[in-house]
């Protein structure tokens, strides 16, 4: 999988801004979002749900895309997402981990919320500096229980690869937590690891196949 496939690509001309946010709908007089305006689901939907024509990391086309950078760059929403993720951490966790680039704001905010240190897992090894040849930034100790923090899980390929990298350093993966589970079927495991997400498609008012 190339790096280009890790992100959704709009199939329309970029100069025409071929997607609309739910804020655009509201500004245009569309009905208000369903549910409480203070709920995480409605806030994520309003901030980051785009409507258009997109290709997902799975290769499938979708009429909707949740842009993780739109919800993770809003301080108040980022803080509350971190609080939600913190509540889902299992006991005995020694360290958090996040994959560059999208998960870094989330894992940093969750570390601030919990006081747990964290590491960043690169998508490739670094070829310079003190960590040349390694894919992990930060201090990692063999035997530590680590939880991976992720933004949006569509196939899980990227976060599962990160789990393998961490296990290769002698750590134990205690679980994976994410903001959004975009998989067709929500299950309590992602690969061999315990998995929990704050939100699913239905929480954003989307149906399977979207």
Q: What is the pLDDT of residues 150-179, one digit of tens each?
A: 999 988 999 999 999 999 999 999 999 999
56 has a pLDDT exceeding 60:
yes
In angstroms, what CA-CA distances link 68 with 47, 81, 152?
9, 12, 7
Evaluate whether 199 touches 180 at the Cβ level (below 8 Å): yes
Residue extent(s) of CATH 3.40.50.2020 domains in the chain: 75-204
Region 105-119: mean pLDDT is 98
Report whether 19 contacts 6 (CB < 8 A): no
What is the rounded CA–CA span in Å between residue 108 and residue 167?
Answer: 21
118: number of Cβ within 10 Å: 24
In this prediction the pTM is: 0.78
- If one looks up domain 75-204 in CATH, what number appears? 3.40.50.2020
């Amino acid at each position: 999988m190339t790096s280009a496939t890790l992100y959704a690509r709009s199939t329309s001309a970029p100069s025409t801004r071929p997607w609309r946010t739910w804020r655009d709908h509201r500004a245009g007089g569309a009905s208000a979002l369903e549910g409480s305006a203070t709920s995480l689901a409605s806030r994520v939907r309003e901030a980051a749900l785009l409507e258009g024509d997109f290709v997902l990391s799975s290769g499938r086309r979708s009429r909707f895309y949740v842009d993780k950078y739109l919800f993770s760059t809003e301080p108040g929403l980022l803080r509350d997402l971190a609080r939600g993720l913190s509540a889902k951490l299992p006991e005995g966790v020694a360290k958090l981990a996040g994959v560059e680039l999208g998960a870094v704001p989330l894992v940093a905010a969750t570390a601030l919320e919990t006081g747990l240190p964290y590491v960043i897992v690169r998508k490739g090894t670094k070829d310079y500096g003190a960590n040349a040849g390694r894919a992990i930034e930060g201090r990692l100790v063999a035997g530590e229980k680590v939880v991976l923090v992720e933004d949006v899980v569509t196939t899980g390929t990227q976060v599962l690869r990160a789990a393998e990298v961490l296990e290769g350093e002698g750590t134990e993966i205690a679980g994976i937590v994410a903001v959004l589970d975009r998989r067709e079927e929500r299950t309590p495991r992602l690969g061999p690891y315990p998995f929990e997400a704050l939100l699913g498609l239905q929480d954003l008012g989307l149906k399977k196949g979207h």
